[in-house]
Structure 1
Amino acid sequence: MLRPQWPTHLINPFPPKLKLFTASQSSLTRPPSSLSSLLALCKIPRHLQQIHARFILHGLHQNTALASKLIDAYSNLGHLGISKQVFYSISDPTTTLYSTFLGCLCKFGEHKQALSVYQEMALKSMYPDEVAYPLLLRSSSQLLDDETGKKIHGHALKLGFDLSETVRCAFDDGNDRQLFEKMTAKGSVYWSSLIFEACLDGDLEKSFHIFNRMRMERMELEPVTVINLLRATVDLGLLKVGRCIHSLIVVSSLCEDMAVSTALLTVYSKLRSVEDARLLFDRMPERDSVVWNLMISAYSRNGYPKDSLDLLMRMVRSGVRTDLFTAIPAISSVAELKSLEWGKQIHAHAIRNGSDYQVSVHNSLIDMYFACNGLEHAQKIFYSLTNKTLVSWSAMIKGYVKHEQFYNALSLFAEMKLAGFRIDNVTVINILPACVNIGALKQVKDLHGYSIKCALNSLLSVNTAFLVSYAKCGCIEMARKLFDETEVDSKDTITWNSMIGAYSKHGDWFNCLELYNQMKQSMIKPDHVTFLALLTVCVNLGFLEEGRQFFEEMKETYHCEPSQEHYACMVDLLGRAGHVNEASELINKMPFKPDARVWGPLLSACKMHSETRLAELAAEKLITMEPKNAGNYVLLSNIYAASGKWDEVAKMRIFLRDRGLKKIPGCSWLEINGQVHEFHVADRSHPKANYIYAILENLEFEIKEYEEKGSNYPSYKPICSWRYFQL
Structure 2
Amino acid sequence: MVRNCTISPKKLIIYCSGHIICSNSFIRRNFLAGHLSSNFYNIKRKHERYFTASVLSPVTSIGHNVFDEMPNRENRTVESRFMLLQDVLRSSMMRTEVETPKSIHCFALKCGFLQDLPASSKLLTLYGRTRDLVSSLDLFDELKVKDVIVWNCMITAMNQNGRSLTAVGFFVEMIQKGIEFDSTTLLLAASALSSLHLSKKCQMVHCLAIETGLVSDSSLCNALMNLYAKGDDLSSAECVFTHMEHRDIVSWNTIVTKCLANGHPWKSLKYFKSMTSSGQEADNVTFSCVISACSSLEELPLGESLHGLVIKSGYSPEAHVSVANSIITMYSKCRDTEAAEIVFKELLCKDVVSWNSVLSGFASNGMFPEAFGILKQMQSVYRIQPDIATVVTVTSICGDLCMSREGRAIHGYTVRREMQSRALEVINSVIDMYGKCGLTSQAELLFKTTTNRDLVSWNSMISAFAQNRFTQEAKNLFKEVVSENYCSKVSLSTVLSILPSCDCSDSLIFGKSVHCWQLKLGFGDNILSANSVMNMYIGCGDLASALLLLERIPETRDLASWNSVIYGCASSGHHLESLKAFQAMSLEGNIRHDLITLLGTISASGNLGLVLQGRCFHGLAIKTLRESDTQLQNTLITMYGRCKDIDSAVKVFGLISDPNLCSCNCVISALSQNKAGREVFKLFRNLKLEPNEITVVGLLSASTQLGSIGYGMQAHCHLIRRGFQENPFICAALVDMYSSCGMLETGMKVFKNSGKKSVSAWNSAISAYGFHGMGKKAMELFKEMSSSTSGMEPNKSTFISLFSACSHSGFVDEGLRYYNQMVEKFRVKPVTEHRVCIVDMLGRAGKLREAYEFITGIGEPQKAGVWGALLSACKYHGDTKLGKEVAEVLFEMEPDNASYYISLSNTYVELGGWEEAVRLRKLVEDKALKKLPGYSVISVG
Residue among 91, 110, 116 paired with 1:158 = 110
1:421 aligns with 2:381: no
Output the CA distance in 1 between the equivalents of 2:502 and 2:337. Answer: 39
1:337 aligns with 2:301: no
Aligned-pair CA distance for 1:279: 2.6
Indicate the residue corresponding to 1:23 in structure 2.
none
Indicate the residue corresponding to 2:206 in structure 1.
246
Residue among 569, 580, 593 paired with 1:617 = 580
Output the CA distance in 1 between the equivalents of 2:253 and 2:347. Answer: 26
1:384 aligns with 2:354: no
Q: Aligned with 1:521: secondary structure?
A: coil
Residue among 797, 821, 825 paired with 1:708 = 797
Aligned-pair CA distance for 1:158: 3.5
Q: TM-score, normalised by structure 2?
A: 0.53
Q: TM-score, normalised by structure 1?
A: 0.67
Q: Deviations over 1:61-116 (max 9, x none)?
A: xxxx9xx9xxxxxxxxxxxxxxxxxxxxxxxxx969xxxxxxxxxxxxxxxxxxxx
Q: Aligned with 1:515: secondary structure?
A: helix
Confirm or deny: 8 A CA contact 1:602 1:615 kept in the other structure. Answer: yes
Output the CA distance in 1 between the equivalents of 2:481 and 2:603. Answer: 43
Output the CA distance in 2 between the equivalents of 1:213 and 1:570. Answer: 51
More helix as a share of residues: 2
Residue among 268, 277, 290 paired with 2:250 = 290
Distance change (3 Å), C-alpha of 1:154 and 1:600: closer
Output the CA distance in 2 between the equivalents of 1:257 and 1:638. Answer: 65
Q: Percent identity at matched positions?
A: 21
Confirm or deny: 8 A CA contact 1:500 1:516 kept in the other structure. Answer: yes
Output the CA distance in 1 between the equivalents of 2:567 and 2:831. Answer: 13
Indicate the residue corresponding to 2:631 in structure 1.
665
1:477 aligns with 2:441: yes
Distance change (3 Å), C-alpha of 1:657 and 1:424: closer
Q: Deviations over 1:23-66 (max 9, x none)?
A: xxxxxxxxxxxxxxxxxxxxxxxxxxxxxxxxxxxxxxxxxx9x
Q: Which moved more, 1:213-222 or 1:243-252?
A: 213-222
Distance change (3 Å), C-alpha of 1:574 and 1:330: closer
Confirm or deny: 8 A CA contact 1:406 1:437 kept in the other structure. Answer: no
Q: Deviations over 1:154-205 (max 9, x none)?
A: 665337884642576579967999x988757434443333333333333333
The AA in structure 2 aligned to 1:665 is Q
Indicate the residue corresponding to 2:336 in structure 1.
374
Q: Which moved more, 1:411-420 or 1:227-236?
A: 227-236
Indicate the residue corresponding to 2:404 in structure 1.
441
5 Å-filtered alignment, 1:588-667, equals 588-590=551-553, 592=555, 594-600=557-563, 602-603=565-566, 613-620=576-583, 627=593, 629=595, 633=598, 636-637=601-602, 639-640=604-605, 642-649=607-614, 651=616, 662-665=628-631
Aligned-pair CA distance for 1:271: 4.3
Aligned-pair CA distance for 1:320: 1.4
Output the CA distance in 2 between the equivalents of 1:444 and 1:505. Answer: 18
Indicate the residue corresponding to 1:587 in structure 2.
550
Distance change (3 Å), C-alpha of 1:522 and 1:398: farther
Aligned-pair CA distance for 1:411: 1.3
Higher RCO structure, 1 or 2 (CA under 8 Å, sep 6+): 1
Aligned-pair CA distance for 1:449: 0.8
The AA in structure 2 aligned to 1:709 is T
Output the CA distance in 2 between the equivalents of 1:176 and 1:363. Answer: 46
Indicate the residue corresponding to 1:454 in structure 2.
417
Aligned-pair CA distance for 1:372: 2.3
Distance change (3 Å), C-alpha of 1:191 and 1:679: same
The AA in structure 2 aligned to 1:165 is S
Output the CA distance in 2 between the equivalents of 1:609 and 1:175. Answer: 69
Aligned-pair CA distance for 1:609: 8.4
Q: Which moved more, 1:528-537 or 1:420-429?
A: 528-537
Q: Aligned with 1:665: secondary structure?
A: helix
Aligned-pair CA distance for 1:239: 3.6
Aligned-pair CA distance for 1:463: 0.5
Aligned-pair CA distance for 1:589: 3.7
Q: Deviations over 1:516-535 (max 9, x none)?
A: 22223362233333333333
Output the CA distance in 1 between the equivalents of 2:465 and 2:152. Answer: 57
The alignment of Structure 1 onto Structure 2 pairs a total of residues equal to: 569
Output the CA distance in 1 between the equivalents of 2:429 and 2:512. Answer: 30
Confirm or deny: 8 A CA contact 2:136 2:154 kept in the other structure. Answer: no
Question: Whose radius of gyration is greater, 1 or 2?
Answer: 2
The AA in structure 2 aligned to 1:326 is T
Distance change (3 Å), C-alpha of 1:365 and 1:607: closer
1:528 aligns with 2:492: yes
Residue among 279, 290, 315 paired with 1:319 = 279
The AA in structure 2 aligned to 1:441 is S
The AA in structure 1 aligned to 2:443 is A
Aligned-pair CA distance for 1:396: 1.1
The AA in structure 2 aligned to 1:157 is L
Aligned-pair CA distance for 1:231: 3.2
1:304 aligns with 2:336: no
Distance change (3 Å), C-alpha of 1:184 and 1:463: same
Output the CA distance in 2 between the equivalents of 1:190 and 1:296. Answer: 35
For structure 2, the residue ranges without an aligned partner over 5 or more in a row are: 1-35, 44-87, 93-97, 635-659, 666-686, 693-717, 734-757, 764-794, 800-821, 834-941
Residue among 513, 534, 555 paired with 1:550 = 513
Indicate the residue corresponding to 1:196 in structure 2.
156
Task: Please provide the CA RMSD for this pair.
Answer: 4.3
Distance change (3 Å), C-alpha of 1:428 and 1:522: farther
Aligned-pair CA distance for 1:495: 1.1
Q: Aligned with 1:461: secondary structure?
A: helix
Q: Aligned with 1:474: secondary structure?
A: coil
Output the CA distance in 2 between the equivalents of 1:417 and 1:175. Answer: 48
Aligned-pair CA distance for 1:596: 4.8
Output the CA distance in 1 between the equivalents of 2:829 and 2:529. Answer: 20
1:698 aligns with 2:738: no
Indicate the residue corresponding to 1:225 in structure 2.
185
Output the CA distance in 2 between the equivalents of 1:176 and 1:431. Answer: 50
The AA in structure 1 aligned to 2:390 is T
Q: Aligned with 1:412: secondary structure?
A: helix
Distance change (3 Å), C-alpha of 1:450 and 1:617: same
Q: Deviations over 1:396-446 (max 9, x none)?
A: 111111112212111111111112011111100011122223332221111
Aligned-pair CA distance for 1:321: 1.2
Output the CA distance in 2 between the equivalents of 1:477 and 1:181. Answer: 60
Output the CA distance in 1 between the equivalents of 2:495 and 2:137. Answer: 60
Aligned-pair CA distance for 1:215: 4.6
Output the CA distance in 2 between the equivalents of 1:645 and 1:469. Answer: 41
Output the CA distance in 2 between the equivalents of 1:609 and 1:200. Answer: 58
